[in-house]
């Protein structure tokens, strides 16, 4: 890869890594796994960079790679094992209640996989219904129904969490 292409890739990766990491975390619920998934996705993007760059599809390519890597990672046998660092998390930004974020991620992890993916892509990543449908390879109507059901379930789960904390 030429130095210009390498510089373009490096600039893209540095600018997008935090958002990609948050997306991966929202999908898998673990920061370390999210880091691994993003690293693998960026490595695959690096290999395909000239082709993907010509098509101006960098974001779509890396999102799709993250979605598929999350599925692959979930299927691996060692994924069923747990590390001894349960509850470890990076500090949150000022003004954000870490308990709320933790509760939200726990609630997201209780959703069925496709509902979780549609909510993360639509509301966490700010993608349109059309973009989400294209990335997940489902119809726009399916995106809407998954999102509607997921938001209803999240509301129920978050309400239960809030009521439980008041007791």
- 57-92 pLDDT per residue, tens: 899 999 999 998 887 766 665 555 555 545 544 455
pLDDT at res. 44:
94
Decide: pTM greater than 0.85. no
pLDDT at res. 76:
64
Residue-range domain boundaries for the chain: 1-78, 97-167
How many CB atoms are closer than 10 A to CB 38? Answer: 25
Q: Which CATH class is domain 97-167?
A: mainly alpha
User: Among 40, 13, 26, which residue's Cα sits nearest to residue 108?
Assistant: 26
User: Among 4, 5, 24, 28, which residue's Cα sits nearest to residue 16?
Assistant: 24
pLDDT at res. 82:
55
Of residues 147 and 160, more confidence is placed in: 147
pLDDT at res. 24:
92
Rounded to 10°, the helix 129-136/140-166 angle is 100
| 135-153 pLDDT tens trace | 999 999 999 999 999 999 9
- Listed in sequence order, the residues at least 6 apart from 85 whose beta carbon sits closer than 8 Å to its beta carbon are none
- Distance CA(64)–CA(104), nearest Å, equals 23
- Listed in sequence order, the residues at least 6 apart from 130 whose beta carbon sits closer than 8 Å to its beta carbon are 140
């Amino acid at each position: 890869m030429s130095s210009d292409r390498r510089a373009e890739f490096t600039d893209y990766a540095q600018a997008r890594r935090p958002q990609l990491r948050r997306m991966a975390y929202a999908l898998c619920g673990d920061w370390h796994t999210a880091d691994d998934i993003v690293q693998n996705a960026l490595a695959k993007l690096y290999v395909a960079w000239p082709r993907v760059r010509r098509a101006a599809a960098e974001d779509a390519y890396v999102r799709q790679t993250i979605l598929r890597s999350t599925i692959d990672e979930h299927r691996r046998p060692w994924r069923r094992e747990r590390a001894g660092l349960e509850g470890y998390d990076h500090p949150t930004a000022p003004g954000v209640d870490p308990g709320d974020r933790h509760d939200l991620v726990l609630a997201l992890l209780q959703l069925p996989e496709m509902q979780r993916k549609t909510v993360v892509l639509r509301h966490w990543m700010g993608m349109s219904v059309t973009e989400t449908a294209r990335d997940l390879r489902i119809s726009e109507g399916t995106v809407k129904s998954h999102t509607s059901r997921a938001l209803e379930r999240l509301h129920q789960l978050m309400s239960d969490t809030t009521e439980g904390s008041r007791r």
